[in-house]
Amino acid sequence: MPTSKYLDIINSQRKKKTSKKFEGSFLEYLSLVEKDPTISDHSHKRLYDVIVAHGVTALEDDDPRKYKLFDSENVKIYDYFSKEFFGMETVISKLMRFLRSAALKGEESRQVLLLMGPVGAGKSALTEHIKASLDGEKYYHLKEDPQRGDPLQLIPRSLRDEFSKMLGVSIDGDISPVARYLLFEKYDKAYEEFKVIETTFSQRARRGIASVPPMDANSQDVSVLIGSEDISKLDKYSEDDPRSLSLNGAFNVGNRGIVELVEVFKNEIEFLHTIITATQEKRIPSPGKHDMLHFDGVIVAHCNESEWNRFQSEHTNEAILDRVVKIDIPYILELEQEIKIYEKILGRSNFSSHIAPHTLRVASMFSILSRLHSSQKCDLLTKMRIYNGEEVVEKGRVKKIDIRDLRDEAPREGMQGISTRFIMKAIDNALSDSDRDFITPVSMLDSLIKQVKDQIVDLDFQSHCLDLIRSTVRDEYLRMLESEIAKAFITAYEEQAQSVFENYLDNAEAFTTNSKMKDRVTKEDMVPDENFMRAIEGAIGVSSSGREGFRADVTAYMFSKMRRGENVNYTSYEPLKEAIETYLISSVKDLARIVTKSKTRDDDQKQKYSSMVETMMDEYGYTPESAEEILVFASNNLWRDS
Ligand SMILES: Nc1ncnc2c1ncn2[C@@H]1O[C@H](COP(=O)(O)OP(=O)(O)OP(=O)(O)O)[C@@H](O)[C@H]1O
Ligand SMILES: [Mg+2]
C-alpha cells in the first residue's frame, strides 16, 4: 500500500500534538503561577529569556577576532543569532542590552526599538528572527478575549499588592472591554471562575506576533493598529456594547508578544502617535466609544537612513524621537563574515552548480571595498585586511595600524555601499547562465561588472565600483591565483614550507645568539647560512640593514610562544609565513609560467601540468571545467612581464 507510509507520518504527528493544553478557572491558573511565576512574565522579559535560553557564550580568549577586532572586550555571543547572522556581534549585543533593561522594567520597556540601516543590511531578517523566537512558546490568556489579556489583570486593584507579594509577580493594567463584558454577563462578576486557556505564540495564526506593513497615506487607517467597530454588528448591539468590536489590529494581536512596524516613518503622524501611546503609556485607543486598552508588547520598528533623517529633521517629531531607542544596523565590514552571508543564502537556494574556490570571496571583497571610506593611513585593500583581522606585512614587519583609529576616522562607514542583495543578484545571474553549470571568480567578476553597469545610476559611484572590480579586486584575485597555482606545483607544499621554516629558525637563532648551529642529520657544527636566510628575507623586501632586526624579531617571537607551551609552525609569525610562501612560490614561478602558458608541452611538462590540475581538483575543490577556466585566465593575465 503505497499511501500508508504517508498516513503513518500524519498519525504519529497528530499523536504528538495532542499533549493536553491547560484550560481551567482563574483560580486554577493562580496555582500554576504559584508553581512557576515566570508564566506571567511581561513581554520584554519573556522575549529576553527565550533568546537567552538558547545559550550565551563569550568569544573564546584564543579567538583572534577577540583582540584584533573587539579590543579584547568580552563580547557575548548569543547562540540564537550566531548561526544566522554574521559579523553582527556588536549590533546584537546592543539589541540584547536593550531587551535586558526592558526585561528589568527600565525605561527601555517604554520605548520603541528602532533598527536603522541601509538596504539589505539585515533589518528585516533580524526582526523576523526575533519574532520567530517566540513562535511556538506557550502563554496563558483569558478565554474569548480578543486581546488575549493577562489573567492576573482580573485581580481587583485593592487586592493586587497582596497577590503580588504572595505570587512574587507584578500585575499591570486592566482587562479589555470584551473581557469585562464577559466577566459581568457570563461569570456574574465571579472572576475566580473566569476561564483561562493555554496557547502558543504564532505569527501565522496572529497570536502574540503582529507585523504592520507600511501603507500609503490614502489607504492608511489606524484600524490596522487598533481594530475597528464591526458595522454589521451595530444594528444588533448598541454603540457602547463591546460585542461590536473587532479587536484584530496589530496591537490587539501583538499584545503579550511583539509588534513589528515595517518602514515605520512612511506612516502618517496619527499612526505614530498611537504607537507612542502604546509604548509609553502601555495603552492603546479602542475603536468606538470604549476605554483605552492595556497593551504589553515589544515594539520593533525599522527604517532606512533617509527616512530617519527626514523624520528627525522636523522638530514637531521630537516627542516621538524621545521615545525611540535607535540601533544602527550597518553593513558588515569583515570579509570573512560577509562570505558566510552568501554561503548561508546559497545554502538555502536550489542552485546546484559548482562554485569554484574564491568565487564568493571575490564578490565579497567587492562589496566590502565599496563600503569603505578612504584613509590617509593606508589604501582600501589594506584597510579591508585590517578590518578582517589580518596582519599586513610591510618590509618584514607587521604594519602597525590601529583598527580603532581607522574606525574613528570614518564613523559612518558601513552605512553606504553595495548591499548584500546586490551581490546575491550578481551571484544568481552568474549561476543562472544556462549554458554552464559552474561559476568561477572569472565569471563572477563579469557578472559584477554587468550588474554595476545595469543597476548603479550614480555615475561617480558607478565608476568607483568599476574601478574596484577591474583593478583592486581583480589584482588581488590574480595574486591569490598565482600563489595557488604555484602551490599546486609544489608537491607536499605544507611539508616543504615547514621544513624551510625549521631550517630558517635554526639559522636565525644561531645568527642572533652568535653561536654555531648543529646540522640536524650529521650533528656537525655549522655556521649560519647567510645566503639561504637572505633568499627568504629578500622575498618580502627585508633590506640587508634590516636583516638583523628581522631575525631577532622572529627568534624572540617564536621562543616566547614556545615558552608558553604553544606549538610553532611556519604560519605562526605572519611576516615569516609570507616570506616562506613567497620564497617557495617564486621557486616554481618559472615552471608554473612555462607549463601553464605553453600550448605544446613535452612529456615531463605534461606530467607536471596534469599533477598540478589534479591537486587543484583534489585539494582545492575545482572541477575540470572550473580549473580550466581559471587556468586560461591565469595564462592570459599572469606573468605578463616575464
Ligand atoms: N550580517 C548578516 N548576516 C547574515 N545575513 C545577512 C546579514 N546582512 C544581511 N543578511 C541577509 O541579507 C538579506 C537581506 O537582508 P534584509 O532583507 O533583512 O535587509 P533589510 O535591512 O531589511 O533591507 P531593506 O531596507 O531593503 O528592507 C537577507 O537574506 C539577510 O539574511
Ligand atoms: Mg527590509
Confidence check: pLDDT of 502 > 60: yes
pLDDT at 610: 86
- At position 331, the amino acid (one-letter code) is Y
Confidence check: pLDDT of 496 > 90: no
Average pLDDT over the chain reads 90
Q: Looking at 288-297, 426-435, 633-642, which range is the least confident one?
A: 633-642
Q: Where does 470-601 have alpha helices with state H?
A: 474-489, 493-512, 530-538, 547-563, 574-597
Cell 547562540 belongs to residue: 79
331 Cβ contact list (under 8 Å, min separation 6): 117, 118, 120, 121, 367, 371, 414, 415, 417, 419, 420
Q: pLDDT digits over 155-203, tens only? A: 999 999 999 999 999 999 999 999 999 999 999 999 999 999 999 999 9
548 Cβ contact list (under 8 Å, min separation 6): 512
Confidence check: pLDDT of 371 > 60: yes
Q: Give, for ligand 1, the residue of 82, 211, 420 to mutate: max count of ligand atoms closer than 8 Å to Cβ.
A: 420
Tell me if 421 CB under 6 Å of ligand 1: yes
Closest atom of ligand 1 relative to the 115 alpha carbon: 21
- At position 200, the amino acid (one-letter code) is T
Mean pLDDT within 305-333: 89
Q: How far apart are CA 392 and CA 90, in angstroms?
A: 24
Q: How many other CB atoms are found less than 10 A from the CB of residue 408?
A: 9
pLDDT at 641: 54
pLDDT level of residue 220 (50, 70, 90 thresholds): low
Q: Looking at 11-20, 103-112, 157-166, 522-531, which range is the least confident one?
A: 11-20
Hey, whose CA ends up nearest to atom 26 of ligand 1?
119
Within 383-505, strands assigned E span 393-394, 397-398, 438-439
Question: What's the CA-to-centroid distance between 59 and ligand 1, angstroms?
Answer: 23
Tell me if 85 CB under 6 Å of ligand 1: yes
- Nearest by Cα to 550 from 527, 580, 584: 580
Relative orientation angle of helices 157-167 and 26-35, to the nearest 10 degrees: 40
Q: How far apart are CA 117 and CA 85, in angstroms?
A: 15
Tell me if 343 CB under 6 Å of ligand 1: no
Tell me if 330 CB under 6 Å of ligand 1: no
Tell me if 164 CB under 6 Å of ligand 1: no
What φ, ψ does residue 284 adopt, rounded to 5°?
A: -125, 150
pTM above 0.85, yes or no: yes
Closest atom of ligand 1 relative to the 128 alpha carbon: 18
Tell me if 119 CB under 6 Å of ligand 1: yes
Q: How many other CB atoms are found less than 10 A from the CB of residue 127?
A: 20
Q: How far apart are CA 520 and CA 490, in angstroms?
A: 23
Mean pLDDT within 214-243: 80
- Nearest by Cα to 588 from 612, 567, 572: 612
Q: How many other CB atoms are found less than 10 A from the CB of residue 103?
A: 22
523 Cβ contact list (under 8 Å, min separation 6): none
457: helix, coil or strand? coil
